[in-house]
Amino acid sequence: MERLWAPWRMEFILNEKPPGCIFCLGEKGDRSAERERLVLLRDRHTFIMMNRYPYSNGHLLVSPNRHIADMGDLADEEMLELFGNVGLCCRVISRVMSSQGFNVGINLGKAAGAGVDDHLHVHVVPRWVGDANFMTVIADVRVMPENLAATYDKLYPAFLEAAGAAAG
């Protein structure tokens, strides 16, 4: 069996977690809170936010607004919007960050590896050929070439534009 080492995730594991669900905190419309929480887009049934502990730059999470854990509890409109926004994430990241591929996945339940197991979310992880460089292999360290705020500032206008195009 091969092992995937992700020592940069230890910060997530050891950090004190805020009370409540990370996907349910904050109010729509409070732009400062949205930026602080790394929310890129809020839609009618779902929203898109950056992962604070990413596997690569541009690692996004798409989640229903409702606090639900099971895909079977999604209404048809929520399911459609959820996966429509997964597609939107791929299009925006491809355009803005020139990604060459994606890992898209859902961990349903603790046994499946969900870090937050009571609020459904889809991971959209952009990939580039050769993105696992020698630092990962030799030092068990993942090099993140851009900080979260810079990535957010790059992606947010593109999501605003995409949302405006969809509405218009």
Q: What is the pLDDT of residue 147?
A: 82
- Picking from 79, 57, 61, 39, the residue whose alpha carbon sits closest to that of residue 163 is 39
49 burial (CB, 10 Å; 0-12 / 13-18 / 19+) is buried
**CA angle 39–40–43, rounded 5-degree value:** 95
Give residue 2's pLDDT.
Answer: 54
CATH number assigned to the domain with residue range 22-158, chosen from the 4 options 1.20.1050.40, 3.40.190.10, 3.50.50.60, 3.30.428.10: 3.30.428.10
Copy the structure tokens of residue 59.
């690692």
**Residue spans per domain, the chain:** 22-158
Q: How far apart are CA 73 and CA 24, in angstroms?
A: 17
CA distance 37 to 125: 18
Lowest mean pLDDT among 30-34, 50-54, 102-106: 30-34
Q: At what angle do helices 148-167 and 76-97 cross, to 10 degrees?
A: 120
* Ranges of H-type helices in the chain: 10-14, 31-36, 76-97, 134-139, 148-167
Residues 6+ apart with CB under 8 A from 28: 34, 42
Instruction: Indicate the pLDDT class of residue 76, thresholds 50, 70 and 90.
Output: very high
Please tell me which residue in 45, 59, 121, 123 is annotated as part of the active site.
Answer: 121
Q: Is residue 121 annotated as part of the catalytic site, yes or no?
A: yes
Check: CB of residue 40 under 8 Å from CB of residue 50.
yes
Task: Please indicate, yes or no, whether the overall pTM of this predicted structure exceeds 0.85.
Answer: no
- Structural tokens at position 17: 């977690």
Structure confidence by residue, pLDDT tens digits, 141-155:
566 667 888 899 999
